């Protein structure tokens, strides 16, 4: 397959989407995608494309999520739901190793050897594609790679769907992570789709970003052939609707270096203000697609001679998170919220070379008291700014 063949764009219809799920299933993949269930758009295993949330949109606000029927029947006109792909790539609970103790007290240790599932993710939003890339850097980009994550990730086939209808809590434009994706082989997706619905019908502009993506794309029924005038018109309509979506972001971050803002805000008064509202429940960390922290759990069976070590999601909002003999390092809610925000927007750059936030808005939606990361960043910016402006604050840097 040539490079030009890979990036070649075609247009598929709803039947093409149905065929895509079938092809992926036939290739032995577990297809995961969005579906409307229990009043939310959740990620679940899909047996057919009919389970996609055709005709469902979402209404989002701080601390508020509601499913809303759409008359247009669009499948991907909804933004981030309660879960993210980390549910599958970096699951909540993973066995790290098993250990056996022999009669002489000798210990044998075995790495967990469950084979990684072969996933296909259908409907990855551009922000979430970047979130996966961030977790890749954290979990496999350093001196040590997390082998279980690497196996699941290496085996995953990603179908991105660009965003044409951002939610009120979205701010991917501020973070440079959406609402569209680029074209070519290094974008990190296997297939990219853009949903188009206009007088010419309901269809998907599709292009491949990998050899396997091109192989799969070639197997799908085409509504509009390669290079035809109709296909070009669909591509143009798709690009236009993504550009329009960029102009309809519900939220934005202050247009400054957030890394510098965080580094300069450690003593801000705003932390006390947010600490008075924050319940330290950790919902934001569970919902966030990049939050990766884990703790460990050791279990033994009844004989006491078989032991296992598991890792489970953890939250920096938990008091035990920074536990040292003698007490936690971060005891106050203030210091724990500050750790979360300054890590996300600031020190993540120092540690892993990028921001830890992709602007998906999940933390805003799923915070029970509606704490809004963009509002907190703006307040810190206003406070730092006013301090720099004030006579005692000294000169602006």
Partner 1 sequence: MTTPVPYEVVRWESETADTATVALRPAGAALPSFRPGQFAMLYAFGVGEIPVSVSGISRADQGLVHTIRAVGAVSGALYGLRPGTSVGVRGPFGTDWDLPAARGHDLLIVAGGIGLAPLRPVVVDALAEPDRYGRVNVLVGSRTPDELLYRAEIGHWSTATAAHVAVTVDRPDDRWTGEVGVVTALLHRARFRPHGTVAFVCGPEPMIRATARDLVHRGVPAQRIRVSLERNMRCATGHCGHCQLGPLLVCRDGPVLGWDRAEPLLATREL
Ligand X SMILES: Cc1cc2nc3c(=O)[nH]c(=O)nc-3n(C[C@H](O)[C@H](O)[C@H](O)COP(=O)(O)OP(=O)(O)OC[C@H]3O[C@@H](n4cnc5c(N)ncnc54)[C@H](O)[C@@H]3O)c2cc1C
Residues forming contacts to ligand X in the complex (CB under 6 A) are 323-325
350 to each of 312, 317, 341, how far by Cα in Å? 25, 21, 14
Which residue, 220 or 258, has its beta carbon nearer to ligand SF4?
258
Phi, psi (deg, nearest 5) at residue 44? -155, 165
Which residue, 3 or 298, has its beta carbon nearer to ligand X?
298
Q: Is 90 in the site for ligand SF4 (CB under 6 A)?
A: no
CA 10 – CA 191 distance, rounded (Å): 11
Q: Spell out the residues 6+ positions from residue 12 whose beta carbon is closer than 8 angstroms to its own.
A: 19, 20, 193, 203, 204, 206, 220, 221, 222, 223
153 to each of 11, 139, 150, 162, 335, how far by Cα in Å? 28, 10, 5, 21, 33
Kindly write down the DSSP assignment for every residue of 76-140, as one continuous string: S-----S--THHHHS-SEEEEEEEEE-TTS-EEEEE--PPPP-EEEEEE-HHHHHHHHHHHHHHH
Q: Is 316 in the site for partner 1 (CB under 8 A)?
A: yes
Q: Is 397 in the site for partner 1 (CB under 8 A)?
A: no
Give, to the nearest 10 degrees, the angle between helix 270-277 and helix 333-342.
110
CA 178 – CA 157 distance, rounded (Å): 20
Give the nearest distance from C-beta 122 to partner 1 in angstroms. 28
Q: Is 359 in the site for ligand SF4 (CB under 6 A)?
A: yes
Q: Is 371 in the site for ligand SF4 (CB under 6 A)?
A: yes
Of residues 88-127, those binding partner 1 (CB under 8 A): 96-97, 99, 101, 104-111
* Count of residues touching partner 1 (by CB under 8 A): 53
Candidate residues 373, 377, 379, 380; the one interacting with ligand SF4 per rule CB under 6 A = 373
Which residue, 301 or 320, has its beta carbon nearer to ligand X?
320
Which residue, 68 or 93, has its beta carbon nearer to ligand X?
93
Candidate residues 2, 115, 144, 396; the one interacting with partner 1 per rule CB under 8 A = 144
Of residues 136-155, those binding ligand SF4 (CB under 6 A): none
Q: Which residue from 161, 371, 149 is spatially nearest to 271, judged by alpha carbons? A: 371
Give the nearest distance from C-beta 294 to ligand X in angstroms. 12
Q: Is 54 in the site for partner 1 (CB under 8 A)?
A: no
Q: Is 60 in the site for ligand SF4 (CB under 6 A)?
A: no
Tell me which of ligand SF4, ligand X, partner 1, none is bound by residue 54, counting a contact when its beta carbon lies within the kind-specific cut-off of 5 to 8 angstroms: none
CA 322 – CA 296 distance, rounded (Å): 14
Q: Spell out the residues 6+ positions from residue 330 whose beta carbon is closer than 8 angstroms to its own.
A: 316, 321, 322, 336, 339
Q: Is 298 in the site for partner 1 (CB under 8 A)?
A: yes
Of residues 264-323, those binding ligand SF4 (CB under 6 A): 278-284, 287-290, 317
Instruction: Read off the tokens for 134.
Output: 């961030």
**Would you tell me which residues interact with partner 1 (CB under 8 A)?**
96-97, 99, 101, 104-111, 138-139, 142-144, 146-147, 266-267, 292-296, 298-300, 304, 307, 309, 311, 314, 316, 321-325, 329-332, 334-335, 339, 342-343, 346-347, 350-351
């Amino acid at each position: 397959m040539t490079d030009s063949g890979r990036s070649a764009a075609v247009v598929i219809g709803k039947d093409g989407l149905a065929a895509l799920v079938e092809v992926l299933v036939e290739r032995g993949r577990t297809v995961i995608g969005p579906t409307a269930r229990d009043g939310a758009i959740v990620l679940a295993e899909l047996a057919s494309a009919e389970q996609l949330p055709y005709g469902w949109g979402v209404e989002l606000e701080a601390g508020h999520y509601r499913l809303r029927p759409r008359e247009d029947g669009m499948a991907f006109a909804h933004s981030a739901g309660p879960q993210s792909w980390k549910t599958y790539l970096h699951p909540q609970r993973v066995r790290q190793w098993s250990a056996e103790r022999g009669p002489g007290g000798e210990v044998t240790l075995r790495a967990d050897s469950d084979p990684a599932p072969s996933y296909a993710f259908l409907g990855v939003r551009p922000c979430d594609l970047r979130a996966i890339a961030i977790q890749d850097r954290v979990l496999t980009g350093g001196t040590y790679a997390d082998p279980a994550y690497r196996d699941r990730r290496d085996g995953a086939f990603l179908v991105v769907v660009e965003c044409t209808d951002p939610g009120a809590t979205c701010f991917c434009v501020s973070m440079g992570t959406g609402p569209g994706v680029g074209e070519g082989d290094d974008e990190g997706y296997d297939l990219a789709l853009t949903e188009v619905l206009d007088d010419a019908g309901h269809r998907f502009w599709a292009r491949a970003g990998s050899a396997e993506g091109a192989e799969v794309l070639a197997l799908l029924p085409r509504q509009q052939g390669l290079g035809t005038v109709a296909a070009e018109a669909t591509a143009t309509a798709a690009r236009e609707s993504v550009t329009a979506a960029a102009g309809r972001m519900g939220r934005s971050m202050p247009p400054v270096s957030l890394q510098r803002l965080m580094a300069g805000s450690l003593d801000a008064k705003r932390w006390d203000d947010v600490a008075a509202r924050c319940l330290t429940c950790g919902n934001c960390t569970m919902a966030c697609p990049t939050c990766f922290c884990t703790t460990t759990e050791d279990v033994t069976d009844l004989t006491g001679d078989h032991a296992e070590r598991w890792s489970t999601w953890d939250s920096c909002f938990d008091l035990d998170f920074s536990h040292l003999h003698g007490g936690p390092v971060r005891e106050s809610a203030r210091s724990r919220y500050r750790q979360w925000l300054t890590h996300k927007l600031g020190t993540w750059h120092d540690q892993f070379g990028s921001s830890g936030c992709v602007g998906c808005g999940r933390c805003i939606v799923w915070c029970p008291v509606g704490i809004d990361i963009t509002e907190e960043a703006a307040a810190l910016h206003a406070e730092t700014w006013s301090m720099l402006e004030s006579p005692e604050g000294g000169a602006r840097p």
